[in-house]
Amino acid sequence: MAIPVENESGALQQAVRHPLDPLTAGEVEKTTRVLSASGRISPRVRIMAYSLLEPAKDVVLAFQSGQLVPREVFVVMRDHDRQLTIEAVISLTEETIRSWRERQDVQPALTYPEVFAAQQAVLDDTAFQEAMAKRGITDLSSVMIYPFTAGYLGPEDEASRGRFIRMEVALAEGPEDNYYAHPVEGVIATIELDTMVVRIEDHGVVPVPASSGNYTRDGIRAAKNVPSFPGGTRTDVKPISITQPEGTSFQVDGHEVRWQKWRFHVGFTPREGLVLHLVEYFDKGRYRPLIYRAALSEMYVPYADPTPSHNFKNVFDAGEVGIGVLANSLELGCDCLGEIHYFDATVNDAEGQPAVLTNAICMHEEDYGLLWKHLEYNIDGSTRAEVRRSRRLVISSISTVGNYEYGFYWYLYQDGTLQFEVKLTGIIAPAAIAPGEQPVSGTLVAPGLYGPNHQHYFNVRLDMMVDGPQNSVVEVNCKPLPWGEGNPRGNAWVARETLLATESEAQRAIEPRTSRYWKIVNPSSLNSLAKPVAYKLMPEKNAFPLFAEGSPQWQRGGFTRSHLWVTAYDPAERYAAGDYPNQQQGGDGLPAYVQKNRSLVETDLVVWYTFGSNHVVRPEDWPVMPVETVGFHLKPAGFFDGNPALDVPPPMEHCRHS
């Protein structure tokens, strides 16, 4: 992606295809060389994350192909000896360190090497071995240690007091056994990751559940499996083949994609994963801008189990772990089906070396049923019909965060609609319970095993530019009109619009009773009916926070208190829960951003949408959960002069009736 060229002085610069292209393996290596050459990196400093420091918006929008653009990398490191976090900005163009900041008040996301080292430290710990022996477990080769972020229970968990992780225990009956089916209840290990000091809590012995919870083709046959399928997999499933003999309808140039009338740029970061930039739609001879940047800002999973072994669990999967670094390498026919284009992604390891995630992003077209249709009855009894089939472009990535899998899907439609969908699957985080007892907040899924109630929250940051950067947001509520002269039969209702003029006004909740939605409008760009062009954000199913006000979950998950937030654009405001949610008490992110109460009238603004799901676990969610979906739509609302999909051709000759 990057081409070295010489400037007038003979020094090497980098000409990139686009200033928003993700970091390449060469750029990761170069960043590490600059850091190493500085002499400021001791042997116990580990690289947490490299991410592209995106250029200013005006620089990106003015970019012309072939121009040289300075490339900068934002670096987060952890000095385990001095127990502090380091932030640095590296100029790849100048090969210099532009800034350096050392902090003891924050903890960056966890990394694989830390987790692996902590697991071994627990296994080697005498107090842990005694807790296992108390339960009759002396052969530690079958013991599995799996991590949870530390959360924040009180001042002892503050970021300045250490770098913590908590771990739970289970037993594996073999190399392919689902060890989540056999939790060793009551034992919690807390590890300080800078020093690898282990502290063991033992909340009492509960029998380890004996039933299996396997989901492989062979594993489901066993009589002790829950559920058991002695006959194995189904034999009546015929293949479905998806082919495009003439090729796909999209074109890819580096990270720029064109599909029918859409144009956009594909990005990727270690924290957010899949990012879409510069989303535009071709109309009336030009590309019209819709979104400057769209990405998952944060994920939050608070658990509702009040027992001492589980009440600490509330995880920020993006800010405490990283959605991008946990992206799967997707496989044709398994994760994606059809004629596929893949994008690789490059992240870094703890030594600052590149790690390429092959096929991290999948893109393909798929049939989506009916696009539009009308059948007309003629006076002579004959009929005439027009029908078009819908097609959508799918851009997706899947991440495994411990026990759960999350699929992130952007859909682009032929009528100008965008959709974001999260597919939740994977394994619940179960717990053991004594025979005859019932969980306070959860559901039994197998003998002695239950799934705790929990919630999944997602926040997507939408840097909007509907026909340009000067936008406003209005809330729309459908209300019945009162009986009267203007409504003599009581059937009339209207869609009332309310301008959200400031950040304090733009903290809103869904309201299905009024079919509430929000429009992002551009008052300076009028459609053919002399109305401001707009796109509307359409909620789908959602959830409200269920944790008590004042609880650690309430304090930390502040962004969940509103479904819609709108802020004036600030490039430093990227994450709904703040830059470093790990071990933070709360208050950062959106609750802090909106304290400025900036104007939102005809300005460069950012829309943040929070959506979620209450997961009341079902027995059918065990041992692996069928996909559950949540998300939202962005639909044109006066952006076009009419149906923009009228020019989609009929699918086959025999469908043409005009």
Q: Quick check: 54 and 20 in contact, CB under 8 A?
A: yes
Q: How far apart are CA 266 and CA 255, in angstroms?
A: 5
> How far, in Å, CA of 260 to CA of 633, rounded?
20
**At residue 527, what is the residue type?**
N
d(CA 400, CA 321): 11
Antiparallel, parallel or unpaired: β 96-103 and 45-53: unpaired
Q: Are 485 and 323 in contact (CB under 8 A)?
A: no
Distance CA 320, CA 354 (A): 21
CA distances from 180 to 171, 202, 269, 624 (A): 8, 19, 30, 10
Answer yes or no: are the C-beta atoms of 73 and 52 closer than 8 Å: yes
Catalytic site residue from 21, 157, 317, 588: 317
Q: Give all strands of the β-sheet with 84-91 in edge-to-edge order.
A: 45-53, 72-79, 84-91, 96-103
Catalytic residue among 50, 281, 303, 404: 404
Q: Which helix (H) or strand (E) holds 417?
A: none
d(CA 91, CA 73): 7
- DSSP letters, 589-624, are SHHHHGGG--B-SSB-EEEEEEEEEEE---GGG-SS
Instruction: Give the three-state DSSP class for 553.
Output: helix
3-state SS class at 267: strand
Sheet strands (E) in 173-272:
187-192, 197-202, 250-253, 256-259, 262-269
Active site residue 404: yes
The residues carrying an active-site annotation are: 317, 404
